[in-house]
Amino acid sequence: MTLMANALAVERASLRYGTFQALIDVTFSVGEGQLVTLLGPSGCGKTTLLKAIAGFMPLDSGRIEISGRDMQGVPPEKRDTAMCFQSYALFPHLSVAENIAFGLRQRRIKSSDIASRVAAVAQQVGLSPQLEKLPGQLSGGQQQRVALARAMAVHPGVMLFDEPLSNLDLKLRDHVRIEIRALQREHGFTAVYVTHDQQEALAMSDLVIVMRNGMIEQMGPPEQIYRHPVNRFVADFVGTANIMPVDVLASDQKSGRYEVTCPFGKAIIHSATPPVGSRIYACWRPEDAMLTSEITEEENRFTFDISARTFLGSLCNLALSPRNGAAEAFFRIQTHGFTPVREGQTVDVVIPPDAIRFLEEVVA
Is position 19 an interface residue for ligand ATP (rule: CB under 6 A)?
no
Q: How far is the CB of 148 from ligand ATP (least distance, A)?
A: 19
Is position 289 an interface residue for ligand ATP (rule: CB under 6 A)?
no
The C-alpha atoms of residue 363 and residue 242 are separated, in whole angstroms, by 15
Residues 6 or more apart whose CB falls under 8 angstroms from that of 120 comprise none
- Asked if residue 46 lies in contact with residue 38, where contact means CB atoms within 8 angstroms, the answer is yes
Residues 6 or more apart whose CB falls under 8 angstroms from that of 361 comprise 230, 231, 232, 276, 280, 281
Nearest to 356 by CA among 295, 281, 293: 281
Among 44, 101, 122, 235, indicate the residue that binds ligand ATP (CB under 6 A): 44
Among 7, 10, 22, 219, indicate the residue that binds ligand ATP (CB under 6 A): 22
Is position 48 an interface residue for ligand ATP (rule: CB under 6 A)?
yes
| Backbone angle region of 28, left / alpha / beta, with phi > 0 → left and psi within -120 to 50 → alpha | beta
Q: Under rule CB under 6 A, how many of the chain's residues touch ligand ATP? A: 12
Q: Which is nearer to ligand ATP, 85 or 304 (CB)?
A: 85
Q: Which is nearer to ligand ATP, 24 or 134 (CB)?
A: 24
Q: Which is nearer to ligand ATP, 65 or 162 (CB)?
A: 162
Is position 91 an interface residue for ligand ATP (rule: CB under 6 A)?
no
Is position 39 an interface residue for ligand ATP (rule: CB under 6 A)?
no
Q: Which is nearer to ligand ATP, 6 or 195 (CB)?
A: 195
Q: Within 10 A of 19 (CB to CB), how many other CB atoms are there?
A: 5
Strand, helix or coil for residue 347: strand
How would you classify the pairing of strands 158-162 and 81-84? Answer: parallel
Q: Which is nearer to ligand ATP, 21 or 261 (CB)?
A: 21
The dihedral formed by the CA atoms of 221, 226, 228 and 230, expressed in degrees to the nearest 10: 90
Q: Which is nearer to ligand ATP, 39 or 244 (CB)?
A: 39
Among 2, 4, 12, 17, indicate the residue that binds ligand ATP (CB under 6 A): 17
How would you classify the pairing of strands 265-270 and 346-350? Answer: unpaired
Interface stretch with ligand ATP, choices 38-46, 200-208, 217-225, 311-319 (CB under 6 A): 38-46
- Asked if residue 116 lies in contact with residue 91, where contact means CB atoms within 8 angstroms, the answer is no
Q: How far is the CB of 52 from ligand ATP (least distance, A)?
A: 9
Q: How far is the CB of 134 from ligand ATP (least distance, A)?
A: 28
**Helical residues (DSSP H) of the chain, grouped into ranges:** 46-54, 96-106, 111-124, 140-153, 170-187, 198-204, 222-227, 232-237
Q: How far is the CB of 49 from ligand ATP (least distance, A)?
A: 7
Binding residues for ligand ATP restricted to 181-240, rule: CB under 6 A: 196
Among 1, 19, 20, 111, indicate the residue that binds ligand ATP (CB under 6 A): 20
Is position 42 an interface residue for ligand ATP (rule: CB under 6 A)?
yes
For the chain, how many residues are written? Answer: 364
Is position 47 an interface residue for ligand ATP (rule: CB under 6 A)?
yes
Q: What are residue 6's phi and psi, to 5 degrees?
A: -125, 160
Interface stretch with ligand ATP, choices 45-53, 142-150, 268-276, 349-357 (CB under 6 A): 45-53
DSSP 245-291: EEEEEEEETTTTEEEEEETTEEEEEE-SS--SSSEEEEEE-GGG-EE
Q: Which is nearer to ligand ATP, 47 or 198 (CB)?
A: 47
Q: Which is nearer to ligand ATP, 47 or 142 (CB)?
A: 47
Interface stretch with ligand ATP, choices 36-44, 72-80, 91-99, 238-246 (CB under 6 A): 36-44
Q: Which is nearer to ligand ATP, 98 or 200 (CB)?
A: 200
The C-alpha atoms of residue 15 and residue 362 are separated, in whole angstroms, by 30
Q: How far is the CB of 215 from ligand ATP (least distance, A)?
A: 12
The C-alpha atoms of residue 44 and residue 46 are separated, in whole angstroms, by 6
In the complex, the residues that contact ligand ATP under the rule CB under 6 A are 17, 20, 22, 40, 42-48, 196
